[in-house]
Chain A
C-alpha cells in the first residue's frame, strides 16, 4: 500500500497537483469573495490599469477584470468537468459493452468510433454552436461530450479486451457469474487507473474545445468564462492598446491549468502502464 502511494506521488504528479491547485482553489472559492457590484458595467473606469481597488484593472465596459475571472473560472471548469465526465461515462459504457460482449455489436461500435475519430470535433461543434444558441455551461459541456466520446471508448474497449482474457475473468465466467457482475464489479476496478487518466485527458479536451468555440465568438456571452474574456479582449483590441491586465491573466491561468492537467495525466499514464516509466 505504501509502495502504491509512493508510486502515486511521483514528482510529475506532485507538480501537476500543485499547478492544478493554483487554478482550482481560486476557481472554486474565489467567487465567494467577489463583489457583484464589480461585474456591473462601469464599475470602474474604462480600460483602467490595475489599482488597489481593481487589482487587475478594468476592461472596455468598465467591468473589473479580476471579478470577471473569478466569476468565469467556475464556469470554464464546469464545462470541462461536465464535458470530460460525460464523454468518459459514455465511452466507458460503450467501450465495456463492445469489449466484453464482442460480436456484431462490437463491430458496429468500433466502426462508428473509427469514422467518428476522423471527423474533427471542432467542425461539428462550430455547426452546432452557430445553429443553436448554447446558453449554459452545462449544455456546452454536454454538446462537447457528444463530439468527444470516441477516444475514451476506444481506450476502454482495448483495455477490456485484454482484461477479459485474464484467468480470473475466465474463472468467473465458468463459475456462472452474470456478465453485468463481471463487467461492473470485477473489471471496472481494474480499469480505474485508465479511467482516471482518460478522464483527465477528456477534461483537458473539453476545456480546449470550449475555449476554441468561445474564441471564435460562439460562446454564450451572458455567462462569464475565461474563453469569453479572451474573445472580448481580442475584439476590444486589448493587446494592441497595451491592456495586458485584460488579455494576459486568462491566458496564463489557462496555461497553468493545461500544464497541470497534462502532468497529472502523464503521471496517471505511468501508473496505468508501468512499462512506460523511464529507466
Chain B
C-alpha cells in the first residue's frame, strides 16, 4: 500500500468529519430556538421554581461559552472536538456529553456488529445458494420469502416482533439490555441474560437486511457463474463444494463488501430507531431521551457519533479491501 493513497484516503476521511462537524455546528447555531430557554421551559413545566431564571441562564451561557462571537464559538467547538470534548449535557448538567456517549457506546456497537455480521453472512450465503445450479429449486423460495422483509423498515418490524414475542407469547423480554436488578458479572448467566435481551433487536435488524444481501448476492452470483475461472475449475474436476466456496463465493463477495461500506449509514440509522423501540441503553436511546428533554449538546454528540462511526467503518473497509482482492494495490 503506498503512502500517497493512504494520505489521500485519510484526507477524504478528515474532510468528511470536518464537513459533517461544520454542518452540525451551523445547523444548531442557525436555529431560532435557544437551548437554554428550552431547558428553562422544561424546568418550569415540571413545576420547579424559575424565579432566578435569569441567573441560571447567565450561568449556563457562561459555562457553555454561548456569549462568545460565532467564529470564536466555532473555533472552540472544533478545538473541543479534537480533544474529544463535546460539551455538557443540559439535562444532567455537570456530566459531559462524551461520558453519556461512552456509557452507551458498547451496547450500540455490540448490537450493531452482531446484527450486521449475522445479516451479511446469512444473506450472502442464502443468495449464493439460491443462484447455485446444484441447489434444489425449492430453496430459491427462501430468497423470495426474504424479499418482502427487506422492504419493511426495521422499526416497524421491531414493533411487530415486540408485540408477538414479548407481549403475546411472552417468550422474550420487552426491552432493556439486561434484567433490571440482576447482578452482572463475567459469567455465563449474565451473558445468557444479555443474549436474551438482544435477541429481538438483533432479529428485527437481521430479518430486514437479510433479504437485501441475498437479492444482490444472487444477482452477482449469476454473473460469476458464467466466468471462465468457474468453468475451468469445474473442468479440472474440483469438487462442487470447493468451487462454490473458494471460486464462486470468494469472488462474488468482493462487490458485496464494497456495498457494505456504502450501506453502513442506513444500518446505523435503523439501529438507532430499533434501540428506542426496545429501550436498549445504546446511542439511540440516549438520543431519544435527549430529544425529549431538548438536551442539545447530547443530540449534537450522538449525531456526530453516527457520522464518525460510518466514516471510520468506510475507512477501515477501504484500507482492508486489498487483503480481499489482490488485484487492488494502492
Complex contact flag A–B (Cβ < 8 Å): yes
- Interface, chain A (partner B; CB < 8 A): 114-115, 117-124, 126-128, 130-133, 204, 208, 211-212, 215-218, 230, 234, 239-240, 247-248, 251, 254-255, 258-259, 261-263, 276, 278-279
Known: A126-B287, A211-B153. A239 touches B219 (CB 8 A): no
A239 near B269 with CB under 8 A, answer no
Query: Which B residues touch A115, using CB under 8 A?
Result: 12, 15-16, 19
**Does B188 touch A at the CB level, under 8 Å?**
no
20 contacts between A and B (CB under 8 A): A118-B265, A118-B314, A119-B16, A119-B20, A120-B268, A126-B303, A127-B23, A127-B27, A127-B300, A130-B299, A131-B31, A215-B273, A216-B273, A217-B292, A234-B277, A239-B167, A255-B152, A258-B152, A262-B151, A278-B222
Query: Which B residues touch A117, using CB under 8 A?
Result: 262, 265
Question: What residue in chain A is nearest B30 (Cβ atoms)?
Answer: A131
Interface of B is mostly: helix
Query: Which A residues touch B311, using CB under 8 A?
Result: 118-119
Query: Which B residues touch A130, using CB under 8 A?
Result: 291, 294, 296, 299
Query: Which B residues touch A215, using CB under 8 A?
Result: 155, 273, 276
Question: What residue in chain B is nearest A235 (Cβ atoms)?
Answer: B292
**Does B65 touch A at the CB level, under 8 Å?**
no
Query: Which B residues touch A204, using CB under 8 A?
Result: 151
B:159-197 near A, CB below 8 Å: 159-160, 162-163, 167
B:203-219 near A, CB below 8 Å: 219
Output the least CB separation between B210 and chain A (Å): 14
Count residues on chain B whose CB falls below 8 Å from chain A CBs: 54
Once bound together, how far apart are the Cα atoms of A114 and B265, in whole Å? Answer: 13
Query: Which B residues touch A119, using CB under 8 A?
Result: 16, 19-20, 265, 307, 310-311
B276 near A216 with CB under 8 A, answer yes
A124 near B23 with CB under 8 A, answer yes
**Does B28 touch A at the CB level, under 8 Å?**
yes
Query: Which A residues touch B287, using CB under 8 A?
Result: 126, 216
Once bound together, how far apart are the Cα atoms of A84 and B30, in whole Å? Answer: 26
Known: A119-B310, A120-B268, A218-B291. A208 touches B153 (CB 8 A): yes
Output the least CB separation between A144 and chain B (Å): 13
Once bound together, how far apart are the Cα atoms of A254 and B162, in whole Å? Answer: 17
**Does B71 touch A at the CB level, under 8 Å?**
no
Identify which of A212, A259, A276 contacts B273 (C-beta below 8 A): A212
B33 near A131 with CB under 8 A, answer yes
B12 near A255 with CB under 8 A, answer no
Once bound together, how far apart are the Cα atoms of A128 and B24, in whole Å? Answer: 9
* Known contacts A128-B27, A131-B30, A217-B292, then 12 further A-B pairs from the complex at CB < 8 Å, ordered by chain A residue: A118-B264, A119-B307, A120-B266, A120-B268, A123-B269, A123-B307, A126-B291, A126-B299, A131-B28, A131-B33, A133-B33, A234-B277
